[in-house]
């Protein structure tokens, strides 16, 4: 397949080896339905524990074990329904499946909501006695310690039940946004580089923005954002609803702010968030210099926002069909050793990945799955270098999940979003290092150098800009401000002007970009892309410089799941995120790469 713009007209036209195998989760919907009923039934039976959780070590252990069994089933049920819908978000049957799974999940959350309040009634001295009484209970020690750490923020059993009952309604802003953004919104048709008509989609927007033809880039940019502009008031209200939900939850749980509530879940100090923004503010000159280099390299009188994604090295093209991309990834990840590579190969060979775009398919890419399934990867592959790096990125998430699930019990198999981007970004860094070392063509090396700088720009600088935007708008609402489309657009445009500097024209259209960023519905999520990238740069450098010792340390990190707090798990991997050192080091690398590009251009 040599065509860069691979979009199948129908999903059934895609060769089966390029689709994920959800039948390995459930052979049919009947089997799925049976698991759904089992989970709901077990949740009803679980009510027998009400009022008894703290009676003895035996009862506490049994309750936690049975609770995990319920969540283990319903998480698989929900994961399957979600991925099934993502194959084609227009399919009513799949929408109904996810709706049924979500309702069941909320119902189960309600039934189990008394567990934590009852645990909080157990004093530490009694809990220590229970560990001696019931040896198996020690499995849950970190989990129980974490619950007690948040004691002042957990409500009564009655109040927790009420909040759980509100779960389905509280999820509405994100669900409405997802449907509008992925299924209902339609973008105009423009002409591509060959003069062919092509409809702008969520998936092909970035490839269009990478076009060498400036008219194509400008048309795609204006076509997409003018469409968002037509819906700006609707997007404002969906975002506003989500923000108010999170502020409400923070207040009722006795937090001083929504950011404190969000970061406390993973025991992350707010100073980590603030230090990130401050570090970026202190290193904006390197970004301004990079923008000047881009302007000179493209030979334009004015650099515009639609010029940010196109490679600045002319006449260099990486056309990488998917099969070639897989082999490139395996070579790039070779420093990680046989244990790691064997899992990557398993993912490639056993249909973990849904590769190509089809109408209605969810845009973007992600890694998903459940404790009792393979990891799964959704992507929309376009034979570009960016597509290769996307697969490598998502494979990092999947391998992290694979190792965590294989080496941790269900309660600790997940991992914090604070460390979630480390494995994915380390994969990209190692792949890029391999390519830079093995390509002799100076122009292609310059192209890859530009690609690396773009990773810094989009993952460190841009995500920090998102994080600052999020912090500003939450604080605005928390201080009594009323969100309007004009306020959001004005705030967002000013941040773009600050982060990109005087060497670029910050087009008016970019002011509405916030409306297409789904991560603003994830509640202070995006800053972790930047901190995770910084940690990953440090770890990848350790692997390349120290070899097997660093690899062993890293694999152990991947196997740790959430068996300890994320800050501690990363420290064991050789990175201390409580200091400014990892972020400053990453920005120092960025500055050196900018200087190197300046020398070569």
* HEC readout, 284-308: HHHHHHHHHHHHHHHCCCCCEHHHC
CA dist., res. 336 & res. 471, Å (int): 37
CA dist., res. 41 & res. 104, Å (int): 10
CA dist., res. 177 & res. 179, Å (int): 6
DSSP H or E segment with residue 401: helix 385-407
Q: 183 with 90: CB under 8 angstroms?
A: yes
Q: Which of 4, 118, 394, 468 is catalytic?
A: 394
Q: Which residues contact 195 (CB under 8 A, 6 or more apart)?
A: none
Answer yes or no: 210 catalytic.
no
Q: 411 with 68: CB under 8 angstroms?
A: yes
Q: Which residues contact 34 (CB under 8 A, 6 or more apart)?
A: none
- The closest of 95, 83, 101 to 21, measured between CA atoms, is 83
Neighbour count for residue 387 (Cβ, 10 Å)? 24
Q: Where are the alpha helices (DSSP H) in 5-56?
A: 29-46
- The closest of 446, 415, 417, 449 to 432, measured between CA atoms, is 449
- The closest of 498, 492, 558 to 520, measured between CA atoms, is 492
DSSP H or E segment with residue 366: strand 366-368
**Residues forming the active site:** 394
């Amino acid at each position: 397949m040599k065509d860069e713009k691979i979009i199948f007209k129908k999903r059934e036209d895609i060769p089966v080896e390029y689709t994920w195998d959800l039948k390995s989760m459930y052979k049919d919907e009947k089997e799925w339905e049976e698991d759904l009923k089992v989970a709901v039934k077990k949740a009803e039976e679980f009510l027998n524990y009400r009022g008894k959780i703290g009676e003895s070590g035996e009862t506490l252990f049994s309750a936690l074990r049975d609770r995990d069994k319920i969540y283990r089933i319903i998480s698989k049920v929900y994961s399957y329904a979600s991925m099934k819908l993502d194959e084609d978000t227009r399919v009513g049957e799949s929408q109904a499946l996810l709706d049924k799974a979500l309702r069941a999940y909320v119902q189960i959350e309600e039934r189990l909501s008394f567990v934590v309040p009852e645990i909080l009634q157990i004093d530490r001295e009694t809990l220590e006695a229970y560990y001696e009484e019931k040896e198996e209970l020690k499995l849950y020690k970190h989990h129980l310690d974490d619950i007690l750490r948040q004691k002042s923020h957990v409500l009564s059993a009655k109040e927790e039940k009420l909040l759980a009952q509100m779960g389905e309604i509280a999820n509405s802003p994100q669900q409405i946004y997802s449907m509008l953004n992925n299924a209902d919104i339609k973008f105009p048709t423009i002409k591509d580089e060959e003069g062919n008509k092509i409809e702008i989609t969520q998936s092909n927007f970035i490839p269009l923005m990478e076009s060498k033809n400036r008219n194509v880039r400008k048309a795609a940019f204006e076509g997409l954002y003018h469409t968002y502009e037509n819906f700006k008031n609707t997007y404002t209200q969906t975002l506003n609803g989500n923000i108010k939900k999170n502020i409400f939850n923070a207040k009722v749980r006795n937090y001083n702010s929504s950011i404190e509530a969000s970061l406390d879940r993973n025991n992350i100090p707010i100073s980590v968030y603030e230090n990130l923004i401050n570090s970026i503010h202190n290193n904006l000159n390197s970004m301004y210099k990079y923008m000047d280099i881009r302007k000179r390299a493209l030979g334009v009188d004015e650099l515009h926002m639609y010029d940010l994604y196109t490679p600045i090295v002319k006449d260099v093209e990486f056309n990488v069909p998917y099969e070639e991309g897989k082999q490139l990834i395996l070579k790039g990840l070779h420093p990680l050793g046989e244990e790691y590579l064997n899992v990557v190969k398993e993912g490639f060979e056993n249909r973990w990945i849904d590769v190509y775009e089809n109408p209605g398919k969810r845009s973007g890419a992600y890694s998903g799955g459940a404790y009792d399934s393979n990891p799964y990867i959704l992507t929309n592959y376009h034979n570009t270098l960016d597509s290769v790096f996307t697969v490598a990125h998502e494979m990092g998430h999947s391998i992290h999940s694979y190792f965590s699930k294989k080496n941790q019990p269900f309660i600790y198999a997940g991992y914090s979003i604070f460390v979630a981007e480390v494995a994915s970004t380390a994969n990209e860094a190692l792949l890029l290092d391999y390519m830079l070392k093995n390509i002799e063509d100076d122009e292609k090396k310059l192209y890859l150098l530009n690609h690396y700088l773009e990773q810094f720009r989009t993952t460190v600088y841009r995500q920090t800009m998102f994080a600052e935007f999020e912090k500003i708008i939450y604080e605005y609402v928390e201080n009594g401000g009323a969100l309007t489309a004009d306020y959001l657009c004005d705030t967002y445009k000013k941040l773009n002007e600050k982060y990109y500097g005087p060497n670029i024209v910050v087009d008016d259209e970019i002011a509405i970009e916030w409306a297409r960023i789904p991560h603003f519905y994830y509640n202070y999520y995006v800053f972790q892309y930047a901190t995770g990238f910084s940690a990953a740069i440090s770890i990848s450098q350790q692997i390349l410089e120290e070899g097997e010792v660093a690899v062993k340390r890293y694999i152990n990190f991947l196997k740790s799941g959430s068996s300890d707090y994320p800050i501690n798990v990363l420290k064991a991997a050789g990175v201390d995120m409580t200091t400014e050192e990892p972020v400053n080091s990453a920005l120092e690398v960025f500055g050196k790469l900018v200087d190197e590009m300046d020398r070569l251009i």
